[in-house]
Amino acid sequence: MNQSSPSKKYCPVFYLFWDIHGTDILRFLFFIVVFAVPFLCKAGSISGVVKDSVTKETLIGATVYLEGTSLGAKTNTNGYYSISDIPKGKYTISVKSVSYQEFRQELNITTDDSRRLDFELTVGGTLAEEVVVEAFRDSDKSQITISKVNIPVEQIKQIRIGGESDVFRTLQLLPGVLTSSQISSGLFVRGGSPDQNLVLLDGSAVYNPSHLFGFISTFNSEAIKDVELIKGGFPAEYGGRMSSVLNITQKDGNQSEIDGMASIGAISSKLSLEGPLGNGSFFLGGRRTYFELIKAALDGNVDIEVPDFGFYDVNGKITQNFGDDDKVSISGFISNDRLEAADLGVSFALDVGNRLAAIRWTHIFEDNLFWDNNFSFSRYQTQFGGDNSGFDFLIRNRIEDFTLKSALEWFNSDKLTTKYGIEVNAYNFGYLQDFDGTVGDNDDEPANETENNQGELDLNIRDYNYSGYAQANYRPDELIFIQLGLRGSYWQTAEKVTLDPRFAIKYILTEDVSIKAATGIFHQNLKLATLPDFTFFDTWLPTDTTVGLSRAYHYILSLETMPIEGYNLNFDVYYKYLENLSELNTIQIERGTTTGDYFFQGNGQAYGFEVFFQKSVGDFSGWIGYALGFVEAEFDSVNFGTPFRPKWDRRHDLKLVGSYQLDESWDFGATFIFQSGQSYTGASSFWYSRLPGDIKGRPRTYPTQRWGLRLPPSHQLNLYASYGWDLFEDVPAKLILDIYNVYSRRDIWFRRFVEEENSIVSEDFLLLPILPTISFEVRF
């Protein structure tokens, strides 16, 4: 039965206008009308929520469709779906999700039938028997997901590095996602720096989501339900960043019974608890490192110099259901870190803290109208001070972000879905920069909001941003899918109004071959200040009238194929032009009063090619990814105006990932990374600066071309194995062996130049050697 035009019989108003034998421009104008106002009539429809049958946790990205038709939908981040324009008749509805058994049910639809159908899926089979990384191929062909990556949390938990499963570490194994070093958990996506990534936790922005030393991110995998990365060309609902979007959703918690997990590893331990609460659930999880024990064991090796550091993080969430149509959640996140070193030639201390609190309310107006509201408070603060070869430095920074978001998602028909939203941001910034100054006795204390500390800050800025957007996914026929969007913003401190159009299209060439393209404009008002040799902390400032808003133009072309069932082979080509980039002004002598006093301004471009080959089914699964990328920046006040490549230009990037499930107890896996070496700035000569009474003075090096040299290539092999069994009755346990850096190749973290006996010598600071770890976890 052909279901390609289900609305023609039951919605004659639509086709009365669409079938007019007019010009294409008339049809385009009609599409704009459809985009802005409701349909005047509709056929049958179904909508509802898809959940886990045991925990009652909503499932994101579950596919609901009517067999033998083109009618279907994917659940959104709240587990909600809606299918409209269903003609009268009998159908078989199919509901699928990764690692769950398929659910099928007979369904009888009558004219204008509007029905609420909630589904509960049962876990079935093993992860290896399902698609483990939905990186480039759509399980729902009605979605335009260009440059979008969805990684199931169970896959993240399988990949261990240093005994820890980590979101950022797993994403770094995809082509086009780079790191500044093997211990960095920062994401450099397609030539963009980490500050150009919008990182959202339950819809709320998180700043500097990395634990100190960069080894792991601040996100505990036990607290996470879903991970989505959009590497470019993202839709209009996302703004304020110009590179990528990482959208992380936390667990609501088990609504049926109390569950828990405890883990003891070589680097950290974690504990989580979840269960029913009222008419909903709760989740609470925490993690803490004890790296001081590892360092004590390494201190006997004189060749290994590792700073002291420690961290903890806590995630919490309470969810309550008020009937079938209303859901309220309150979530929180706390992270604290401290890193200190006095014996590395560079003496420094770094304190970092993250705080996040949010309340979210979702409401279903009717079968095809979904409302999502979120109010959040995010606070990030850092202090970094010390001495680098007689060069004293001190940076203090605080950013507070109050954000209100409201979005209306409207499933207009089987051909059209629209979304409208507003966003208001209120920022408080505090910043102090003191280079070659005198670090006081209390400089190792983290900055706070007392009047004394406030008086030490050079900049105290309040900023407001106001944004609104509209976007539509439209399917004119069975082979073409179009996404249109427009985002408008007013940036108060910068005194600018911006309009960001977004466009994406997908064309299905054959059942197993699709071609996609996307383009758009993306603005960013936040600036990142960072010292050249220490990129594992972020210091944020807003754009004011003295600097321009950063802007990016994205152009993406993608070819997605499945040459053999269970194998994907995909190609991406991208180009980004970047305006008003920022480079920290490290030669500023006097304390500035504006953002322009701290940054040089310039332009740049990033372009490259990515190939991804994946085996996604069977006992053995994995992928091979390769990316060739070029990044170039040009500043009038940097490098004498000559173009240069930024530090994160890695050029060649090869990733190999494999996992093998031997039986129900044993799992094995390996990851291998090869990358071109990162760029660094050399030194050509040195001189002494003298103060009155200073006999010799302090040595100063004269740099060569900015980032003009490149370190040796970086490569590393990691292995892991896990064995699972029942410790007691119904108490699953797992023992995990992880070997980090198997052949103990210590890559260079950074290279600096110092004066020694009236000459310049280079000093390399090396990364960690081989690090075998054992961890044990139990679920109760």
Lowest-confidence range among 264-268, 434-438, 653-657, 770-774? 434-438
Shared domain check, 81 and 227: no
Q: Give the Cα separation of 155 and 167 in Å (integer).
A: 10
- pLDDT digits over 638-652, tens only? 888 888 888 888 889
Same structural domain, 429 and 577: yes
Q: Are 461 and 607 part of one and the same domain?
A: yes
Give yes or no: residues 575 and 619 share one domain: yes
* Average pLDDT, integer, range 240-269: 89
Q: What are 683-698's pLDDT values in tens digits?
A: 776 666 655 555 555 6
Other C-beta atoms lying within 10 Å of the C-beta of residue 131:
20
Check which CATH number belongs to the domain holding 57 and give it: 2.60.40.1120
Q: Are residues 166 and 116 in the same domain?
A: no
What CATH number should be reported for the domain holding residue 440?
A: 2.40.170.20
Q: Which domain holds residue 408?
A: 148-779
Tokens of 775: 């961890």
N-terminal to C-terminal alpha carbon distance within the chain: 50
Residue 184 has pLDDT above 80, yes or no: no
Residues 431, 542: Cα–Cα separation, whole Å: 11
- In this model, does residue 30 exceed pLDDT 60? no
Identity of the highest mean pLDDT range in 158-172, 237-251, 336-350: 237-251
Please identify, among 59, 92, 125, the residue that sits at the C-terminal boundary of a domain: 125
- How many domains would you assign to the chain? 2
Residue 244: exposure state from Cβ atoms within 10 A (0-12, 13-18, ≥19):
buried
- Residues 705, 642: Cα–Cα separation, whole Å: 9
- CA–CA–CA angle 74, 657, 616 (5° rounding): 40
At residue 24, the 3 state secondary structure works out as helix
Same domain? For 351 and 466 the reply is yes
Backbone angles phi, psi at 213, to 5 degrees: 75, -5
Shared domain for 505 and 544, answered yes or no, is yes
- Which of 518, 578, 491 has the alpha carbon at shortest distance from 195? 578
State the pLDDT confidence band at 466, using cuts at 50, 70 and 90.
very high
Say how far apart CA 504 and CA 91 lie, in whole Å. 32
Q: Do 161 and 102 share a structural domain?
A: no
Residue 131: its H or E element? none
Q: Is residue 134 part of a domain?
A: no
273 vs 367: CA distance, rounded Å? 34
Final residue of a structural domain among 125, 159, 189:
125
In the chain, % of residues over pLDDT 90: 33
Q: Has residue 416 been placed in a domain?
A: yes
Q: Which of 167, 156, 529, 427 is closest to 313 using CA atoms?
A: 167
4 in a domain, yes or no?
Answer: no
- Is residue 140 assigned to a domain? no
Regarding whether 237 and 119 lie in a shared domain, the answer is no
Question: In what helix (H) or strand (E) does residue 531 lie, and over which residues does it extend?
Answer: strand 526-531
The 8 Å CB, 24+ separation contacts for 320-327 are: 320/277, 320/278, 320/279, 320/280, 321/279, 321/280, 322/279, 324/116, 324/118, 324/364, 325/363, 325/364, 325/365, 326/361, 326/362, 326/363, 326/364, 327/78, 327/280, 327/361, 327/362
- The pLDDT value recorded for residue 330 is 96
561-596: per-residue pLDDT in tens?
998 888 889 999 999 999 988 877 766 555 566 777
Strands annotated E in 117-267: 119-121, 148-150, 160-161, 164-165, 177-178, 188-189, 197-201, 204-205, 224-230, 244-250, 259-264
Tens-digit pLDDT profile for residues 58-97: 998 888 989 888 888 888 888 889 888 888 888 999 998 8
Mean pLDDT in residue range 249-262: 91
Residue with tokens 């995998």: 221
Torsion of CA 229, 231, 234, 240, to 10 degrees: 90
Q: Would you say residue 303 has pLDDT above 80?
A: no
Asked whether residue 54 is assigned to any structural domain, the reply reads yes
Write out pLDDT tens, residues 98-112: 778 899 989 888 877
Residue 357 is given by DSSP the state E
Residue 7 is assigned to a structural domain of this protein: no
* Residue 143, domain member (yes or no): no
CB 380 within 8 A of CB 207: yes
Are both 78 and 193 inside the same structural domain? no
Most confident listed range (22-31, 430-439, 502-511): 502-511
Residue 438 in any domain: the answer is: yes
92/181 same-domain check: no
Is the same domain home to 231 and 117? Answer: no
Q: Are 499 and 518 in contact (CB under 8 A)?
A: no
Residue given tokens 């509805």 in the structure block = 93
Rounded to the nearest 5 degrees, what angle is found at the Cα of 762, between the Cα atoms of 759 and 767? 160
